[in-house]
Amino acid sequence: SSPDSEGVTPELEKAGLLNKTKIAEGGRKLRKNWNPSWVVLVGNSLVFFKDPKSQNPDSWKPGNSRPESSVDLRGAQLQWANDLSSRKNVFKLRTITGNEFLLQSETESLIREWYRTIQNVIDRLDKE
């Protein structure tokens, strides 16, 4: 990877469109509000964008679109969560700070691929 102002540019692992809702903030339950989100997995973070103009693989780079929010995957937990929604193909991501998100796709292969890729990052961080 090429150097930037932070030292090293993190590696883009994956980007794509998923449905997202935040269901807890710091352990406190929130009301669901499903929305499409452009999701970018880069370095140790999952970054969410809501602006449709962000839907390109470079959106996370400095100076491009502003993210809606960003999740640190260190210490995070993933689990399938079909019990938490009437939607199919849903998993829950819980951060170490107690923020919880549901991510969903109509396409099973696609959500499985996201689950696997995020879990790989979490596992890598656990070993550091």
Cβ closest to ligand I3S, residue 31 vs residue 127: 31
Torsion 115-121-124-128 (CA) sign: negative
To the nearest whole angstrom, how small is the minimum distance from the Cβ of residue 124 to ligand I3S? Answer: 30
Q: Judged by CB under 6 A, which of 37, 45, 85, 99 binds ligand I3S?
A: 85
User: Taking CB under 6 A as the criterion, which residues in 35-64 touch ligand I3S?
Assistant: none
Interface size with ligand I3S, residues (CB under 6 A): 6
| Distances in whole angstroms, Cα of residue 122 to Cα of each of 3, 32, 73, 85, 127 | 24, 25, 6, 24, 9
The reply to whether 28 sits near ligand I3S by the rule CB under 6 A is no
